[in-house]
Structure 1
Amino acid sequence: MQKLQTLFAPSAIAVVGATDREGAVGGAIFQNLQKNFEGKVYPVNPNRDVIFDKECYQDLASAPEVELVVIVVPAKVALQVLEEAGKVNIDNVIVISAGFSEQNDSGEMLEQQLIGIADEYDINLIGPNSLGVISTHSGMNASFGPALPQTGTISFMSQSGAFVTATIDWAIQRNIGFKDIVSLGNKAVVDETDLIKEWGDDPETDVVIGYLEGIDDGREFIDAARDVVMDTPVVLIKSGQTEAGARAAASHTGTMAGSEQAYEAGLRQAGVLRADSAEQLFDYARALAGLPSLDQNTVAVVTNAGGPGVMATDVIGESKLSLATFTEETIDAFDDCLPAGANIYNPVDIIGDAPVDRFVEAIKIALSDRNVGAVLVLGAPTAVLSYADLAEEMGALAESHDKPIMGCLMGGKEADAATKILDKHGIPNYFDPARAITGLEGLARLNTIRSREYHSFEPFDDVNSDRVEQILSDAVADGRSRLGVESMGILEAYGIPTPEGEIATSPSEAKEIAEQYENSVVMKIVSPDIVHKSDMGGVDVGVKQRDVEDAYERIVTNARRYQPDATILGVQVQQQVDLSETTELIIGTKYDSQFGQLVLAGLGGIFVEIFEDTAVRVGPVTDREAATMLSELRAYPLLRGARGRPAADEQSIIEIIQRLSQLVEDFPAIMELDINPVVARPNDAVAIDLRLTIDEGKL
């Protein structure tokens, strides 16, 4: 795909389907372009000679040379126009037309043809089913949105055209400016990854924001975003967080590592800030676009209102930020310049009769403290305070200091006037202290992202992939797509420790196997159809030699009663692992259609789905990422040795996570896999049970 510069700043545009018919989309787009666009605009319509006093062309071949074509014709005709655009060497096309994959199967076929034409001619295609594209720096409103927003440094993409129009209308009221705006539509060719790459290279874009309903290629997106966010922050809303009506998963991991977890993990690994609401999206965007970086996550609050100061303190306490602890020099400076009764500690209450100069002096002192990362200026209107003058002073201080200053000048008309002044200096202003803190928290999160070190996955070379391939192929040949403990050899082949054990198909065979071990054994039903073995009496722990045959009969009988149609392959007889001073974990994987293999680690055992204490990553997982996963668990203190317990061997757990990650990368036919439990002990970690699902079409 070509670079997209001429998409946003073309010298000339042709609107195919332009019309002067009232209420028509083609007419609205043509008129929008006529208002502010710096280049030339040509209407193309074989049924018109003149449109809005402009000469109309019959087709693209007869029109003057252009760098962008906007197509507003029925879907089938759009294919012909795109082909024509390719033949006259046009690089950029926006397909406004609907009737493609968003509609039905026949529309999906049309969209595939559209993609084929764009690929053949190497066309940057936006859409189809797009609202259009806006670029304020060139005055281009190639959309049927109602207005051109003011110029700014935020570039915005959205899969929802309605969200675009609502956002523009909202932003105009609040003086929020944009550089480029793209309605992605169906994302047939140009998608979110292409846009963040383009805007990451754009010196006039300070922050990229977006509303997405899905990501086409999660791994490509992660790789691209990691590079972009080092210079240009990316903030996204990802909708569709719930999975109502989702299919029942075949494993614990499948249940807990669904689509939402995939996006959460993927966006985190990409370094993208995720917003929970439209309000938070723009609170982050305004702070990231206008304020300097936050070198430390400490805030000084300077206020003339005690109550709002307490509110701000509470919000800071619940965030990733903290109140700055002032140096002795700073406290002395506040004591010297503030009247009796003022609070010289954080939050700094300069009292309700404070004029502008007292505010300014207090802000200067706070900014000069080495322990302060940012200053929140929180004001309530009084007769002795001019918000407009304070805003001008705050702007001057922002220009002369490299620390963020955030405004929270509360009120109505006076606050609105101050906001306009602060906007000129890139300082956001909010009525609610919580929103001001949200903006600063965005800076803190970005700082954390940029301080990360990324490492490549180092594969293990002591694995036996041939053995795994044989086990999987044999299972498919037998008509089995779900495997259990009978396939523990898969783990052994990839260097994951397992207890000794064999499968018995009769009571006497179970006894023979048990006699190989000195101590008691563990016995488990072997059935690809039974997930919760413990619930139905399919597991017996600590079985003595004399009781093995009876235990075999009991386990099989329980399984038959629980699920009469289940395939029963026998009973696994394992050497019993000493479970004293251990922690049971689950380590598993699930294939996700957008991101590929996900890896999950968490508190395991029989309560795995009750506590749901897990961490998820997009694979392959490095040793550092695996260590971070463990540290995120609420149960992590158990691994570290809480309340006198011996610490678990974390390195062994980390290695199992890595090896399992490599296994499923090597064998994408493994759709879901659970090792539950992994028994973590002071000197090692052992995989006790296994369950996996195969997609035979991928073998």
Structure 2
Amino acid sequence: MTLQTFFSPRGVAIVGASADPMKLGYGVARNLIQSQYTGAVHLVNPKGGTIMGRAVSRSLAEVPDPVDLAALIVPAAAMPAALADCAARGIKAAIIMAGGFREIGPSGAALEDEILRIARENGIRIIGPNCIGLLDTHYPLDTTFLPPPLPAPGDIGFLSHSGAFCAAIIDWSRQQGFSFSRLVSLGNQTDVSETDLLPIMAADEHTRVLAMYIESLPDGKRFIEEARRITRQKPIVALKVGRSASGQRAAASHTGALAGADAAYESAFEKSGVLRADSAEELFEWSRALAWLPLPAGRRMAVLTNAGGPGVMSADFIETHSMSLAELSAESRDKLRALLPPAASLLNPVDMLSSASPHEYAACLQILLDDPNVDGVLLVLPPPPMHSTESVADSLIPLIRASAKPVAIALMGSNLVREAWRRFNAARIPTYDFPERAASTLACLARRAEYLQTLDSDSAPASTLDHASISSLLAGRPASWLDPEAADRLLSAARVPTAPLKLARSADEAASLARELGFPLVLKIASPDILHKSDAGGIFLNLNSPEEVKESFTLAIRNAQNANPSARIEGCHLQRMIGAGQEVILGSTRDPQFGPLVMFGSGGIDVEGLKDVAFCLAPLTVREAEALMDKTWAGKKLNGWRSIPPADRGAVREILLKLAELVQRHPEIAEIEINPLRVLEQGAVAVDARVRVG
């Protein structure tokens, strides 16, 4: 049995079918029959009789062939028996709509475990429980209990954890003028997950775009693999809810504290080419545009308007979404000058004035589309005072349909633009209520184009790490923070430059070691119970004599004891002080769904104050490492800023790649943090590092 059976069954049994219009069993039976499904429909209820003029079987055992799919609409307590009946009848696909399982607590979770056991033992695949079913508008098939009619055949495949969201979106889509090819409400996902269904949805010839409403991804690594394969051919747009960090675990390191609950999802979507929407409107506005519009070659956009205010608004939103206003060619400006009144603005935005006719709208749009400096157009269309909006729409539709460049239309208004909206929508040209939504959509199209352009153009460098030494160092260690000397050896085996440490257990030993190391020096408290040494007054910088070292040793011990009287204090570490340079932080923590998550940002004492950090899941490619740095002020500053001289950004990139390989290859490493990494004009040195294993 394949999961395709859910979408193309030869026969469907509705277990719990009802003649009562107030019950779900009636709604499912009604929808399946009215959907013009061409397979066999079997209604099952222990009472027998007829429903909607069709005979009702008293049990699954009475149901004749063919029957591939069962929609189980019985109470949760009766579900184990219903699944056992499916097994006896040879049915391998079941949709469980009832609630009362894991979502209600331990008793429901135990019941859900029981139905999963029965399903696994009998080779049955389950969608649900706690879902509203699925539909395929082309097959056609509707196993939901939602009010009719079945949505019109469309081209967006939709997977949702929330049944209520599905119900609302189906109704909303009719008003918005788009529809679905397939829609699945996943519910609790006790068996079949969105990752299981992604390849089935993507293989559907009627599906041009996949949209997803996601609450969690239990198997994050497999999701990335499937999504990355699919997005090479078809776009995926996702709305991930639950962004707050309230569920993140407590962490002692800066890296753990800064890696919010959402950082891994953000990186997972980026790595797999999934376009992340921030709202329900974006989810479907982007999906519709990806299905209907061509992709731009770049981010240079033109604005065409008949009013100054909306034009300025559009220009602002274009830049807000990391695009730029195209510089029109001299030829385009000459053509516009010959066409428009003297008071019109020929710069970008192009303001044709309120008198713009349908002919002028079309002619100006064609000029902009023909300009090689323009990658796409944001066209603003509030109701023209001298012409009907639908007449303007009629003049534009042929040009937009024929264009290889996207045109996003801000159709501003309500009653006066309703007929124009209908005509644009019938021509598969999406419109937006305001310029902000149109600009957001153009940016989405540009991101999709950039993703496709960079496929197969990037790779990770060849490994230089001494993995044998790393494995030997980590072998058999209990779950704990490594001592600083071990952390230093680990980084050295990973080919990360370090400033070696020497441990002094007394002030006299510290002075003696200082003479060996040379000056200037840094002194740090050595205690497994004090992770943030500066907070405890346990770091002294720029020490230039044995006397300063002895005095600092005594102060560091005293400060540490005051800060944490129960701390184990082993002495102090001495280290040559690394001079001028920029301070950054590198780190990694391990996400339970996606694995190691690498961090980069502003280092030193500014870490948690500035929160200038970004994350990317390991492993990293060269392009991903560069993009990770580009997301932060720290990364941009490495190129030099005003009085701050440039530092060796390439050295940081190489250390990021080594760090990502280290945590990817050695899952024993739960957390690692280099803070600061001192970035010099040539090279970079790890000044302080913490590593937690286990």
The answer to whether 1:6 aligns with 2:9 is no
The answer to whether 1:137 aligns with 2:148 is no
Residue in 1 that maps onto 2:237: 235
State the SS of the aligned residue for 2:17: coil
Q: How does 1:14-53 map to 2 (within 5 A)?
A: 14-39=13-38, 40-53=40-53
Give the Å deviation of 1:395.
Answer: 2.2
Two-structure CA RMSD over aligned residues (Å)? 2.3
CA distance in 2, matches of 1:625, 1:653: 13
Deviation string, structure 1 residues 603-658 (Cα, Å, up to 9, x no partner): 11111111111121111123332222222221224322333554323332222222
The TM-score with structure 1 as length reference comes to 0.93
Tell me which of 369, 374, 377 is aligned to 1:375: 377
CA distance in 2, matches of 1:661, 1:301: 43
Seen in structure 2, the aligned counterparts of structure 1 residues 225 and 167 have a Cα distance that, compared at 3 Å, is same
Paired residue type of 1:311: M
Kindly indicate whether the alpha-carbon contact (under 8 Å) linking 1:206 and 1:289 is maintained by their aligned counterparts in 2: yes
The answer to whether 1:690 aligns with 2:689 is yes
Kindly indicate whether the alpha-carbon contact (under 8 Å) linking 1:250 and 1:693 is maintained by their aligned counterparts in 2: no
Paired residue type of 1:690: A
Residue in 2 that maps onto 1:636: 635
Paired residue type of 1:23: M
Seen in structure 2, the aligned counterparts of structure 1 residues 459 and 375 have a Cα distance that, compared at 3 Å, is closer
The TM-score with structure 2 as length reference comes to 0.94
State the SS of the aligned residue for 1:682: coil
Give the Å deviation of 1:466.
Answer: 4.5
The answer to whether 1:445 aligns with 2:447 is yes
Deviation string, structure 1 residues 643-686 (Cα, Å, up to 9, x no partner): 35543233322222222222222332322221111111122211
Percent sequence identity over aligned pairs: 37
State the SS of the aligned residue for 2:31: helix
Tell me which of 349, 352, 358 is aligned to 1:350: 352
Deviation string, structure 1 residues 157-200 (Cα, Å, up to 9, x no partner): 11111111111121122222111111111122222222322222
Deviation string, structure 1 residues 15-67 (Cα, Å, up to 9, x no partner): 11222234222222222222223223211222333333322223333213223
Give the Å deviation of 1:112.
Answer: 3.1
Residue in 2 that maps onto 1:473: 476
Kindly indicate whether the alpha-carbon contact (under 8 Å) linking 1:3 and 1:198 is maintained by their aligned counterparts in 2: no
State the SS of the aligned residue for 2:348: coil
Which consecutive unaligned segments of at least 5 residues does structure 2 have? none
Give the Å deviation of 1:461.
Answer: 4.9
Paired residue type of 1:327: S
The answer to whether 1:81 aligns with 2:82 is yes
Residue in 2 that maps onto 1:287: 289
Paired residue type of 1:463: D
Kindly indicate whether the alpha-carbon contact (under 8 Å) linking 1:583 and 1:639 is maintained by their aligned counterparts in 2: yes
Q: How does 1:383-422 map to 2 (within 5 A)?
A: 384-422=386-424
Residue in 1 that maps onto 2:607: 608
Kindly indicate whether the alpha-carbon contact (under 8 Å) linking 2:514 and 2:574 is maintained by their aligned counterparts in 1: yes
State the SS of the aligned residue for 2:309: helix
Paired residue type of 1:499: A
The answer to whether 1:530 aligns with 2:524 is no
Residue in 2 that maps onto 1:307: 309
State the SS of the aligned residue for 1:534: coil
State the SS of the aligned residue for 2:409: strand
Kindly indicate whether the alpha-carbon contact (under 8 Å) linking 2:300 and 2:324 is maintained by their aligned counterparts in 1: yes
Seen in structure 2, the aligned counterparts of structure 1 residues 528 and 472 have a Cα distance that, compared at 3 Å, is farther
CA distance in 1, matches of 2:62, 2:334: 78
Give the Å deviation of 1:247.
Answer: 4.2
Paired residue type of 2:412: M
The answer to whether 1:463 aligns with 2:463 is no
Paired residue type of 1:591: R
CA distance in 2, matches of 1:278, 1:438: 13
Paired residue type of 2:519: N
Seen in structure 2, the aligned counterparts of structure 1 residues 596 and 527 have a Cα distance that, compared at 3 Å, is same
Give the Å deviation of 1:529.
Answer: 2.5
Q: How does 1:151-170 map to 2 (within 5 A)?
A: 151-170=153-172
Seen in structure 2, the aligned counterparts of structure 1 residues 396 and 224 have a Cα distance that, compared at 3 Å, is same
Kindly indicate whether the alpha-carbon contact (under 8 Å) linking 1:42 and 1:57 is maintained by their aligned counterparts in 2: yes
Q: How does 1:57-76 map to 2 (within 5 A)?
A: 57-64=57-64, 65-76=66-77
Kindly indicate whether the alpha-carbon contact (under 8 Å) linking 2:237 and 2:274 is maintained by their aligned counterparts in 1: yes
Paired residue type of 2:352: I
Paired residue type of 1:521: L
Deviates more, 1:226-235 or 1:294-303: 294-303
Kindly indicate whether the alpha-carbon contact (under 8 Å) linking 1:286 and 1:439 is maintained by their aligned counterparts in 2: no
Paired residue type of 2:504: A
Which consecutive unaligned segments of at least 5 residues does structure 1 have? none
Paired residue type of 2:219: D
Deviation string, structure 1 residues 50-89 (Cα, Å, up to 9, x no partner): 3333222233332132232111223343233334434544
Seen in structure 2, the aligned counterparts of structure 1 residues 643 and 341 have a Cα distance that, compared at 3 Å, is closer
Tell me which of 423, 432, 435 is aligned to 1:433: 435
Residue in 2 that maps onto 1:112: 113
